[in-house]
Chain A
């Protein structure tokens, strides 16, 4: 469709005119005219909702909201075209078959072996070995080898030595969705462990010997403690209500030596609504500080993030400081349980704060343990009530920790943002379906590519320059302060306002420091080489040989350009849209070329897509600075009392 306009949300003056294309996998907007031919790409899988708004004089507006929080405002001149686009997008954004997804057509031009190698990058067996398992207390069990016991669990589960197959099977019958207690994390320093399961089918009074034996087995696997914590991550009321449905929670009287604890984290519906409300705040036009803070509080979002974090801290403390094992569950053990176990692991073990370790963590607690990616993130068109930002919340917890502990993580914010992006993009096969069983049935590993491989290949973009493995912050357990620390939870504008360039610091400290680090390293290497040459020169002079001095091969320029290219433009500082009288567009902002370093890096880390990948969009058009609609100022007061101030 031609003559489509793309509006900038923040600055109503910035309008780009171009052509809109729809392909099998993307929506593409190509700007007219400009030498740079700016393109905006959006994957269909990213589209969360499409809104056709009332036709105005300028055309028919279409608002596309994406799962990665990008918001695209288009204006299509003809109503009929707009309708066609709308209908097409609705269908394209709601695939019914897996085969429609991008990952099955995405081709990064790797051969079969490279694809396979990519999938092998993260190996959970290796991970459990790294933890020190199998050992005297823990072993691998193949009881679920054909998914016969629990179809949402992996084929390989780790259980206490004293948990026989009989106990496991018995326990699974007493757990919602058959998700019996299994090992998530083992701390070899003190034998304390984090296990996870779903809620017991205890109702008001039901008991199950094998389930009780299972918990005993977990306790016995830690000789250093005579009890275990059982942590129910639901609010107490919800858990109690479940009893009426024949489910519920562990009764301390029935299970010997457990200490039961509720840590109230709300359910997926509350979280879905919370995110919705927060995004509404983000869409406010020129909000006041008041609007923003009230809106953010009303959404409850940061409160929920803190609840997840607090639960993770509780568990990490139990393991690291008390040396007590913990069994965690929620209702089905695949949402809050995953969040809380992975936060706790991250706090406990510095390995998970490395790039590789983080990928392993997600693979372990989310992918292998059957988090329902398809249902939660809408790979395929499904029940909207199943949609919920569960992993987004976990990723945000990690970011909040990174803000508190800037030296503790090997990876940077961009790593987190790209992972979130790809959970929704379906460009890679890692986050398809709802369980390992489904993924194997679809032969995902033979037909798609692994995100981990892609990220690993581009890891230079994802490093945190402040990370040093020997730094005090990176070693041992992280101890986030629990209270008073409400203020520590910041609004993550890098994620939720990701595509609004005007909002972010225009100069990326991360990229600058990485460049500094790289340059220092190169200079040090050069210094070494020169040192050797000098030594050789001295030696040969001693030997009376002649040496021609060679030109230094300065292949790398040491210019670290920062500020000179980082000009920016003023936003609209007056609430009133009628601003200064128009200036002709030719009075340009040639010197104001906003070079957003992070955005450039986004481009370079997706070489497979076009130069302007779907991750880079909404690049501001700085060549036109026409005034907003009105143009001139309102006419001044004429004859009367000219005491009235003129508001611009």
Chain B
């Protein structure tokens, strides 16, 4: 699986021999690859007007392009804000709750993200084909897809250590601009242009996986909530800045502590583990039917409703497993 940003085809349909050679070298003779473009065909075409574009079929003959539009940027942030508002609205009647939920579109975004990641995984696992994922910049929906696909495909990404490695690789080092994206969150009226909850969307998708495959992830919801918190505001330097270059310039590694170092301490670590975990060497294929995708109550109702009874249930599960 490869990731990149969009090719700079531009309005004059520029070509780049090196780019074509690079993608050509990835595939063996006669092999086929898939390009998953996270923009709609129309949006990708329009991107040419501003210097971007897509890979023309004739120049990349072994690659087949698939468009799977995923929401990003301002509309995604709006979706998030609306959802949080809906969850906090005590006046909504049961009559109108579901349509209100629907109008936020958040769950549709979860479904789309999971479906696209599954498609990428299917290309690799079932069709044994290589996959190139990109959107426009390669820093948002691209990373969402590649990271999620790895959780689906690779059991080592489902371990606590492996998941941290995945985050480091596919989000932090890959240059997801955390500083811009995770600025003020849902309550702020600032509505920054660059803010968008892609990382939260990723965590939500992972939560959906943990619900559908309760034995297959070594970590639990608590880890996901902690990651969400730390992406927005943290005592640690892990999610600071927008890319490695900035982190170097700011001397992050020299002046801050790493979240992973803290999480992995034996005393802390056990809080994040899933008592039901059992290594599953196989690919986990989630159902993306609407019935299978649920609202992440642990996150969206975290401060609104007590999780006491569910916590007690988890404590009981822990007790049963440990007793054994």
Chain A contact residues, CB within 8 Å of chain B: 10, 282, 287-294, 296-297, 300, 302-303, 306, 404-408, 465-466, 468, 471-473, 481, 483-491, 493, 497, 502-507, 509, 512-513, 516-517, 519-520, 523, 562-564, 566-571, 573-574, 580, 591-592, 633, 636-637, 642-648
A289 touches B57 (CB 8 A): no
**For residue B65, which residues in chain A have a CB less than 8 angstroms away from its CB?**
645-646
Given A292-B290, A645-B65, answer yes or no on A407-B126 (Cβ-Cβ < 8 Å). no
Q: Are A303 and B95 in contact (CB under 8 A)?
A: yes
Tell me which of A471, A562, A573 contacts B215 (CB under 8 A): A562
Q: Which of B121, B281, B287, B320 contacts A516, CB < 8 Å?
A: B320
CA distance A493 to B127 in the complex (A): 31
Tell yes or no: B18 within 8 A of A by CB.
no
Among B96-104, B179-187, B243-251, the stretch that binds chain A is B96-104
Interface contact A293-B107, CB-CB below 8 Å: yes
B261 on the A face (CB < 8 A): no
Q: How far is the CA of A294 from the CA of B320 in the complex (A)?
A: 40
CB of B111 closer than 8 Å to a CB of A: yes
Asked whether, in the complex, the Cβ of A487 is within 8 Å of the Cβ of B87, the reply is: yes
CA distance A296 to B216 in the complex (A): 31
What residues of A have a CB within 8 angstroms of the CB of B89 in the complex? 484
With A290-B102, A570-B122 known to touch, is A562 a contact of B289 (CB < 8 Å)? no
5 A-B pairs with least C-beta separation: A292-B290, A642-B57, A563-B280, A406-B313, A297-B98
Given contacts A509-B214, A570-B122, contact A487 B295 (CB under 8 A): yes
Tally A-B pairs: CB < 8 A.
192
Task: Give Cα A548–Cα B118 distance, bound, in whole angstroms.
Answer: 60
A294 touching B281 in the complex, CB below 8 Å, given contacts A509-B214, A570-B122: no
Return A467 CB to nearest CB of chain B, in Å.
9
- Give the chain A neighbours of B288 by CB distance below 8 A: 571, 573
Q: Which residue of A lies closest to B107 (CB)?
A: A289
Known: A288-B290, A580-B126. A302 touches B90 (CB 8 A): no
The answer to whether A293 touches B98, judged by C-beta atoms less than 8 angstroms apart, is yes
**0/1 interface trace, chain B 265-284, chain A, CB 8 Å (1 if under):** 00000000000101111111
Query: Which listed residue (A491, A570, A637, A644) contacts B118, Cβ 8 A?
Result: A570
With both chains docked as a complex, state the minimum distance between the C-beta of A571 and any C-beta of chain B, in angstroms.
6
Complex alpha-carbon distance, A246 and B301, angstroms? 48
Interface residues of B in 18-67 (CB under 8 A from A): 37, 41, 44-45, 54, 56-58, 64-67
Partner of B99, one of A293, A302, A503: A293
Residue from the list A487, A505, A644 in contact with B41, Cβ < 8 A: A644
Chain B positions within 8 Å of A290 at CB level: 102, 108
Q: Note all chain B residues with C-beta closer than 8 A to A503.
A: 287, 289, 291-292
Report the Cα distance A405→B316, complex, angstroms.
12
When distances are taken between beta carbons in the complex, the residues of chain B under 8 Å from A497 are 291
The secondary-structure label for the interface of chain A is: loop
Cβ 8 A contact of A289, one of B102, B119, B126, B278 = B102
- B98 lies within 8 A of A473 (CB): no
Using A563-B282, A645-B65 as known contacts, say yes or no to A507 and B102 having CB atoms under 8 A apart. no
Tell me the bound Cα distance from A491 to B287 in angstroms.
15
**A287, A505, A574 interface centre (most CB from chain B within 10 Å):** A505
Question: How far in angstroms is the closest Cβ of chain A from B271?
Answer: 20
Contact A637 B287 (CB under 8 A): no
A343 to B165 Cα, complex, angstroms? 49
- Chain B residues with CB below 8 A from A465, complex form: 320
Return the CB mask of B209-243 against A: 1 if under 8 Å, else 0.
Answer: 00111111000000000000000000000000000
Query: How far does the Cβ of A638 sit from chain B's closest Cβ, in whole Å?
Result: 11
Q: Which residue of the partner chain B has the closest CB to A509?
A: B214
Q: List 20 A-B contacts (CB under 8 A).
A: A293-B107, A297-B96, A406-B309, A471-B312, A473-B309, A487-B97, A487-B101, A493-B291, A509-B214, A509-B215, A519-B324, A523-B324, A562-B215, A568-B284, A570-B118, A570-B122, A574-B119, A580-B122, A645-B44, A646-B65
The residue on B at minimum CB distance from A502 is B287
How far does the alpha carbon of A407 sit from the alpha carbon of B96 in the complex, in Å? 31
A507 to B287 Cα, complex, angstroms: 13
**Contact pick for B57, options A291, A293, A471, A643, CB 8 Å:** A643
A493–B293 CA distance with the chains assembled, in angstroms: 11
